[in-house]
Amino acid sequence: MSKALNFSSKLYQPTEPEIWNGRIDSISDFDQFRYHQVVHCIDLNDIRTENQTVLLGFASDIGVQRNGGRVGAAKGPSHFRNSIGSLCWHGDEDGFIDGGNIIPENEDLETAHQELGKAVHHILESNNKPFVIGGGHETAFGHFLGVALFLKQKNPKAKLGILNIDAHFDLRPHNGIPHSGSPFLQAHEHAEKIDLDLKYFVYGINQDNNTRSLFNKADELGTKFCLNTEIFNNEKKGLEKVQNFIQSRDFIYLTICLDVFETSLAPAVSAPAWNGLKLNHALNLIQVLKDSGKMLSSDICELNPEYDLNNQTAKTAGSLFSAIINSSKV
């Protein structure tokens, strides 16, 4: 792509490169490079490359506050960048792009969702892959808006699947006031409004964290899911269910809520888990999805640095990010 596409948003801020730092083993041997040495911080107006991952932050925990969770995830994007710079890079020499942040103003989540959608759409339009780091899981609805707009313009008959690794359905009613527990109900409502073929799968549902009403709503919407206990008892069978879902869809938007993991891996989330998944459960699913070639876009949500001892949760998010964006296998 020789010419950058125009992008404008009053809520957009490019990333200051100084936020990326870390250990340096070599300044010339690429095989010794780390994340902070391969990231390219650019303004979204200046994307001239294709087929690269573009990191975008959504600095919001407005939805978490509305949902009664513990706040702090608005600082998640900065904490993520600050914490993973020293992770070892195993991707190609192009590295990845940091496209900056969408930052809500005046507790206006609704406008921020629209602006996040515009940014995601812009990245997809430039033939790159968005990766959004939240922020609360309200991030997902804004992200979905961008994916939905892109598909309706480019492939209106496309079958979209949302694949959510999460302990919660996040299908709660919102009464016109969206929050971190409602993004996928909102996605279904929007899909119906614009006539988009949407199906939803949740991997890691904790029965004790979801009311019978939510299971009923999931059934009403045709939502497929795997309980955490199913995954513990027979992961292979769970992944087969995921694979069948992926095969039934043309494109997949992957979203990961860090509260799905056991607290030793992810203590710093808006709603800490018990009986959570292990990291390998998610990594194995990500590999199945990557093998399909259908992943259109992805995000990681609920990173709350206020509670992140030794950056443990950010490093877990970093490992997931690595699995999503790296094409090579060690």
Cβ-Cβ contacts under 8 Å for 179 (sequence gap 6 or more):
63, 64, 66, 67, 138, 172
CATH number at residue 51: 3.40.800.10
Q: Sign of torsion, CA 30 88 130 118? A: negative
Tell me if 206 is assigned to some domain: yes
Could you give the dihedral angle defined by the CA atoms of residues 291, 218, 115 and 146, in that order, rounded to the nearest 10 degrees?
40
pLDDT digits (tens, 9 = 90+) for 239-281: 999 999 999 999 999 999 999 999 999 999 988 878 999 999 9
Task: For residues 50-78, give the mean pLDDT.
Answer: 96
Q: Predicted confidence band at 49 (pLDDT cuts at 50, 70, 90)?
A: confident
Q: Is residue 6 part of a domain?
A: no
Is residue 2 a part of any domain in this protein?
no
Q: Which of 301, 322, 310 is nearest to 167 (CA)?
A: 301
CA–CA gap between residue 24 and residue 108 (Å, rounded): 40
In a domain, 216, yes or no: yes
- Return the biggest CA–CA distance within the chain: 57
Model confidence pLDDT, tens digit, residues 194-226? 999 999 999 999 999 999 999 999 999 999 999
Whether 321 is in a domain gets the answer yes
Overall domain count for the chain: 1
Query: How big is the chain by its Cα radius of gyration, in Å?
Result: 18
- Tell me what pLDDT residue 1 has: 52
What one-character DSSP code corresponds to residue 261?
Answer: B
Percent of the chain with pLDDT over 90: 93
For residue 101, CA distances in Å to 81, 118, 283, 317 come to 12, 12, 26, 17
Residue 64 lies in a domain: yes
Does some domain include residue 240?
Answer: yes
Token couple for 231: 């995954």
Upstream peptide bond of 135 is cis (omega within 30 degrees of 0):
yes
* In the block, residue with structure tokens 């069978």: 237
pLDDT of residue 8: 86
Q: Is pLDDT above 50 for 46?
A: yes
Tokens of 78: 């900065």
- What band does 4 get if pLDDT is binned at 50, 70 and 90? low
* Band of pLDDT at residue 5, cut at 50, 70 and 90: confident
Residues 90-108, mean pLDDT to the nearest whole number: 96
- Say how far apart CA 196 and CA 250 lie, in whole Å: 12
Q: What is the pLDDT of residue 300?
A: 98
- pTM, to two decimals: 0.97
Tokens of 196: 């988009």
Range of the structural domain that residue 237 is part of: 12-325
Q: Which residues contact 319 (CB under 8 A, 6 or more apart)?
A: 87, 279, 283
pLDDT for 117-166, tens place per residue?
999 999 999 999 999 999 999 999 999 999 999 999 999 999 999 999 99
Q: Predicted confidence band at 330 (pLDDT cuts at 50, 70, 90)?
A: very low
| Listed residue (114, 119, 194, 198) closest to 152, CA to CA | 194
For residue 3, being part of any structural domain is answered with no
Mean pLDDT of the chain: 95
- Categorize the per-residue pLDDT at 3 as very low, low, confident or very high, splitting at 50, 70 and 90: low
